[in-house]
Amino acid sequence: MAKIVVSLADGRQAEFNSPVTTGEALKSLLNGKLKNIIAVKVNGEAVDLSHTLTRTAELDPITADSAAGQKMLRHSTAHIMAQAVQELYPETRLGIGPAIENGFYYDFDRPQSFSDTEMEKIEQRMAQIIKQDLPFRKSVISKAEAIQTFSEKSEAYKLELINELDDNRLNLYQQGDFIDLCRGPHIPSTGKVPAFKLLSVAGAYWRGNENNKMLQRIYGTAHSSAARLKQYLNQLAEAKKRDHRKLGQELDLFSFSPEAGAGLVIYHPKGAILRGIIEDFEKREHLKRGYQPVIGPLLLKLDLWKKSGHYDNYRENMYFTEIEGQQYGIKPMNCLAHMLVYKSRLRSYRDLPLRYFELGTVYRHEKSGVLHGLLRVRGFTQDDAHILCTPEQLNDEIIGIIDFVQQVMDTFGFSYTLEISTRPEKSIGSDEDWERATEALPHALEHRGLPYTINQGDGAFYGPKIDVKLKDAIGRWWQCATIQCDFTLPERFDLCYIGKDGQRHTPVMLHRVILGAMERFLGVLIEHYAGAFPVWLAPVQVRVMSITNEQDDYVLSLAEKLIEHDIRVETDTSPEKIGFKIKEARLQKIPYMLIVGAKEKAAGSVAVRKRGAGDLGGMEFDEFIQQIDHEINQKIH
């Protein structure tokens, strides 16, 4: 038999005359030290440390704190949790249990739901299993054997998975008496889990299909050390502090009222100002880029929604009403009125592209369980536009929108991810049009060298789309900007333009939003800045406060001057000590405090305190105005 040569990337080598496990091979390469290594890549493929090498290979150790290692650690911890659950509650049947970002889950089918005390018991049993240091043993079996094994255990969900697999060689992993169907690889033994915690229990449909049974999903997390776990839990606690729902109340930006209805935002003065600032910014940016403002009605006749396809494809999300026997639909999208603007006269190819912009308020019937602060509501306002252009102009228009998105996101300091969503099952339009549109989108992104992922079957019913997603405080992604191709609606509405050839042609339409919904964007924005808005966005930019009530008149005169400079200002002339006034202004995250006592009043100056920087000392009033104006104009964040 030929010699087996194993090597590491740094060139270290070892030779063996007979097959060895990867674990043994690594031991001899690393002088017996494996402490943090839980698996290994063999010629690029991740395998267990118990994997047997039969030929020469390059090894790349996977440590517990690497990305791949953490994922494996979490996946193995999911198995340990399943073992604990079945030992404690043998009537429980298994769903699936993968690693996810920052943790893992396992889905269980059990007649009773898991209570808090049961969760604690599960956690304790897991700790015991980890202490026992049971090895994860892999075995490769045939499909028939797998069916036999899981039939004996009455694991119907596992059987369903097995039956759908084409491969006749399946992997089983066993630790103690617990056996699971699993591709692997796993950590060598249960004792290699340094720190874990169960976090929550939630319902989850089997295989993500709402027609299937709802299972109980237990979420948990595992880390390569107790310190890392603690750090992660701290991070979660910190994230909660910047939750926009909490900040929205603390900063008096908005509220919801059960009396008004779920998912309907009540903007308080400061929230309304913030939104207004963003809307003003948006209007200017759109005008700069050749968009024309238009305004459509909130209700349109039902027949129009039938014509557009919304009634057939989007009815369950719409609200309807009746006026003098005539049926109306409340708009869930803004496109219809924009098409009516286009249709109001005959268009020439010389008119195109036409870019209609509207801060359009829409209402959608979202299922009650999905409502979520400002991030998912029933009434919201989109920074919506519809671009009508010739097919030849399509690419440039998409590129223009992508650049627009990039510039706006840079202004707010956001990073984001791009996704292309393709044709869904429920859709209208010809195969040919879908193909054309689906090609145009990646083309534009590639033209700008932007990375993206594909989201199969997640497009709108009328066309494919590019989605821009932003992250909230807890790490959830929310779709904000979206660019959607549409060849269908212009046809349905008989839109046309006269081409160079004197003939009628159908224009192409792009639906697009930049911020998406003002509500959602505000929510993400609040979390992004943790409520400490840059000066240009802050609802209150300056609070002027007196040291003693002797200076109240001076405070009021300063406030007047600031208002003349278009600075948003509040005054504090309460008979409190200055420390108390500062505390209150800090809690409101106001960017600048102007503190004036007898000294400043006499000199006509101000003492400036800046959020994050502290006491800046005395300053001439004009100097302060210059400084804050600069910050506002440059939109410094």
- The identity of residue 34, as a single letter, is L
DSSP, res 368:
G
Distance CA 236, CA 200 (A): 13
Q: Show contacts with RNA in window 221-250 (CB under 7 A).
A: 243, 245, 249
**Which residues have C-beta within 8 Å of that of residue 612, sequence separation ≥ 6?**
532
Cα 380 from chain centre:
18
User: Look-up: residue for tokens 């049974």?
Assistant: 213
384 as an active site residue: the answer is yes
- The identity of residue 360, as a single letter, is G
Min dist CB 574 to RNA, Å, is 8
- In the bound state with RNA, the residue whose beta carbon lies nearer, of 173 and 412, is 412
Q: Kindly write out the interface string for residues 309-348 of this chain, putting x where it contacts RNA by CB under 7 A and - elsewhere.
A: ----------------------------------------
Q: Show contacts with RNA in window 185-204 (CB under 7 A).
A: 200-204
**Which one among 559, 593, 628, 632 touches RNA, defined by CB under 7 A?**
593
Min dist CB 213 to RNA, Å, is 9
Q: Are 274 and 537 in contact (CB under 8 A)?
A: yes
447 as an active site residue: the answer is no
Distance CA 510, CA 394 (A): 8
**Which one among 144, 227, 598, 613 touches RNA, defined by CB under 7 A?**
598
Cα 400 from chain centre:
24
Listed as own residue / partner, the contacts of 562-567 with beta carbons closer than 8 Å and 24 or more positions apart are 562/625, 565/625, 565/629, 567/541, 567/542, 567/625, 567/628
Min dist CB 216 to RNA, Å, is 6
Min dist CB 316 to RNA, Å, is 8
And the tokens for 2?
A: 């030929």
SS3 of 365, please? Answer: coil
Rg (C-alpha) for the chain, rounded Å, is: 31
Q: Give the CA dihedral 255, 259, 265, 270, nearest 10 degrees.
A: -40
Backbone φ, ψ for residue 123 (5° rounding): -60, -40
- In the bound state with RNA, the residue whose beta carbon lies nearer, of 122 and 377, is 377
**Which one among 132, 139, 225, 549 touches RNA, defined by CB under 7 A?**
549
- In the bound state with RNA, the residue whose beta carbon lies nearer, of 24 and 383, is 383
**Which one among 191, 309, 353, 597 touches RNA, defined by CB under 7 A?**
597
- Judged by CB under 7 A, does residue 252 bind RNA? no
Min dist CB 214 to RNA, Å, is 4
The footprint of RNA on this chain (CB under 7 A) covers a number of residues equal to: 79
Min dist CB 379 to RNA, Å, is 8
Q: Residue 469 pairs with which residues in a beta bridge?
A: 417, 479
- In the bound state with RNA, the residue whose beta carbon lies nearer, of 204 and 402, is 204
Q: Show contacts with RNA in window 569-588 (CB under 7 A).
A: 575-580, 582-583, 586-587
The catalytic position among 465, 520, 543, 581 is 465
- Judged by CB under 7 A, does residue 256 bind RNA? yes
Min dist CB 262 to RNA, Å, is 4
The Cα diameter of the chain in Å comes to 98
CB atoms closer than 10 angstroms to residue 488? 21
- In the bound state with RNA, the residue whose beta carbon lies nearer, of 288 and 586, is 586
Min dist CB 581 to RNA, Å, is 8
The catalytic position among 243, 383, 384, 572 is 384
- Judged by CB under 7 A, does residue 367 bind RNA? yes
- Judged by CB under 7 A, does residue 419 bind RNA? no
Helices and strands counted in the chain (H then E): 19, 36
**Which one among 52, 54, 115, 292 touches RNA, defined by CB under 7 A?**
115
The catalytic position among 182, 335, 480, 485 is 335
Closest to 318 in 3D by CA, of 337, 335, 299: 299
Q: Show contacts with RNA in window 601-620 (CB under 7 A).
A: 607, 609, 614-615
User: Look-up: residue for tokens 């409101």?
Assistant: 588
**Which one among 386, 512, 520, 589 touches RNA, defined by CB under 7 A?**
520
- Judged by CB under 7 A, does residue 415 bind RNA? no
Q: Kindly write out the interface string for residues 33-72 of this chain, putting x where it contacts RNA by CB under 7 A and - elsewhere.
A: ----------------------------------------
Polymer length in residues for the chain: 637
335 as an active site residue: the answer is yes
DSSP, res 414:
-
- In the bound state with RNA, the residue whose beta carbon lies nearer, of 325 and 579, is 579
Give the pairing of strands 354-363 and 292-293: parallel
